[in-house]
Structure 1
Amino acid sequence: MVQYDPKVRLPSSEELPETDNLPVDNELHILVPNFLRFILSFIWTTRNNWFFGVNMGLYHATGVNPRVPIVPDGFLSLGVDRIRGNKLRKSYVVWEEKEIVPQFVLEVVSETPGNEYESKMEIYARLGVLYYLIYNPDFWLRDRHEPFELYRLIDGEYQRQIGEPYWMPEIGLGIGRSRGNHDRLEREWLYWYNQQGQRYPTLEEQTQQAQQRSQKLENYLRSLGIDPDTIQ
């Protein structure tokens, strides 16, 4: 009997669905990864060799069927074009991305268990994803896990990493939690960090900091008897 080799004729991105069309049951599945993507776009504003996908089908040839994607809440790939051929991606197809798999994958646990600690972990390990973060802010007691669990792939298996924020040298970023304001919601969010453990600010925070510096300068000039409005 002839065995079918899926690599003989792999489908193109135009032939594949964008995602698995399964709805999320928690708004955090969209807000958290999009927040990370927004911040990253300011950190790496001059770089064009990265892509951050949100709730997007990730197609690979390491499973039973290359037409069946896994859909992370968020993932980061380095060494790929930020925009391919002046077109937005419908999905992330590994065999169209120079065989580069994401180096970082994020899953946000929801009320409906999604096998983040079981089958998804096995799939990401088989795929070769270096860092796997399971963010479980609301149901960690139910699941008997911690709210923030980062795993690194070592010898084909994921091993839990200790420390937060956690620095990922292969990516050049740290990841961790902090309380902040996003989308008019004050709560705990995931943030990127530098190697010194300092959190990268959001665009709103940068704007606010610039306004505060400007106000301090104006106040200082006025204390010297100088009207800042007259300075060209």
Structure 2
Amino acid sequence: MVDSYLDRLPTSLELPCSDDIPVDNEDQNFLPNFLLFLLESIWAKRLDWFFGADMAIYHTTGVNPRVPVVPDGFLSLGVERRKASGSRSSYVVWEENGIVPTFVLEVVSQTYGEEYDKKMEIYAKLGVLYYVVYNPNFWQRDQHQPLEVYKLIDGFYQLQIGEPFWMQKVGLGIGRGINSDGGLQREVLYWYNKQSSRYQTAEELLTEYRQQFGELPGS
């Protein structure tokens, strides 16, 4: 009966690749991609993960399997880094051996997107273990903290304490930090190790090396 139900579900080729709703601030586009590029360096030799940014997640725990939820960023573990057919157009849970994302990120914008209620309920029902809400500009408006990490416990999200927060099931921590790039400084989200030290980008490592040892040999 389960196989018959799965056979009736649409394939990724039949499903739209997004909800066609544009992001309404720069952070919603930049921050998840920053985490992705950093993760590609940290886990360069691992092929069992996938990080999606502004990508539709199709699942069977909502009102209709053709209606996706589209977080700003998400991380799934135990899946193929790249599908055999190439890049994913969307993340279809029933084509990923039923594996749901372990981590989901939502960035709050000027237009409130129900990050603290409706979306939280959707991700809890889906079974996302860690739900992160980053709200650097409107946290006072929403009566929350700038960065909140929730963990799914007995079917409900419970707010966690501490920053960076270590996500045991992911093997990474999440927290804020200041990134300097081309003279521009901005607060971003970084991955952290278990000792609460943040992972640096290639550019940051190069700058640190030059500050300690001068120019690279041959440069």
TM-score class, shorter:
over 0.9
Paired position in structure 2 for 1:31: 30
For 2:169 and 2:181, the matched residues in 1 are separated by 28
Paired position in structure 2 for 1:221: none
Q: For 1:120-131, what aligned pairs fall within 5 Å after superposition? A: 120-131=119-130
Question: 1:209: Cα distance to partner?
Answer: 2.4
Q: For 1:47-196, what aligned pairs fall within 5 Å after superposition? A: 47-182=46-181, 185-196=184-195
Question: 1:185: Cα distance to partner?
Answer: 3.3
Paired position in structure 2 for 1:20: 19
Per-residue deviation, residues 99-142 of structure 1 (Å, max 9, x unmatched): 00000000000000100001100000000000000000000011
Question: 1:196: Cα distance to partner?
Answer: 0.3
Gaps of 5+ in 1: 219-227
Paired position in structure 2 for 1:223: none
Question: 1:14: Cα distance to partner?
Answer: 0.2
Q: TM-score, normalised by structure 1?
A: 0.88
CA spacing shift, 1:182–1:107, aligned 2, 3 Å: farther
- Cα RMSD (Å) of the superposition? 1.9
For 1:6 and 1:118, the matched residues in 2 are separated by 30
Per-residue deviation, residues 53-85 of structure 1 (Å, max 9, x unmatched): 000000000011000100000000000000000
Q: What letter corresponds to residue 16 of structure 1 in structure 2? A: L
For 1:185 and 1:160, the matched residues in 2 are separated by 32
Per-residue deviation, residues 121-179 of structure 1 (Å, max 9, x unmatched): 00000000000000000000111111111000000000000000000111000000011
For 1:188 and 1:149, the matched residues in 2 are separated by 15
Paired position in structure 2 for 1:203: 202
User: How many pairs were matched up?
Assistant: 215
| SS in structure 1 at match of 2:208 | helix
For 1:185 and 1:119, the matched residues in 2 are separated by 35
Paired position in structure 2 for 1:222: none
Q: What letter corresponds to residue 95 of structure 2 in structure 1? A: E
For 2:104 and 2:5, the matched residues in 1 are separated by 25
Identity %: 60
Question: 1:8: Cα distance to partner?
Answer: 5.6
For 2:170 and 2:118, the matched residues in 1 are separated by 25
Question: 1:47: Cα distance to partner?
Answer: 0.4
Paired position in structure 2 for 1:11: 10
Per-residue deviation, residues 172-217 of structure 1 (Å, max 9, x unmatched): 000000112247631211000000000100111112223334428x
CA contact (8 A) 1:6 1:66 kept: no
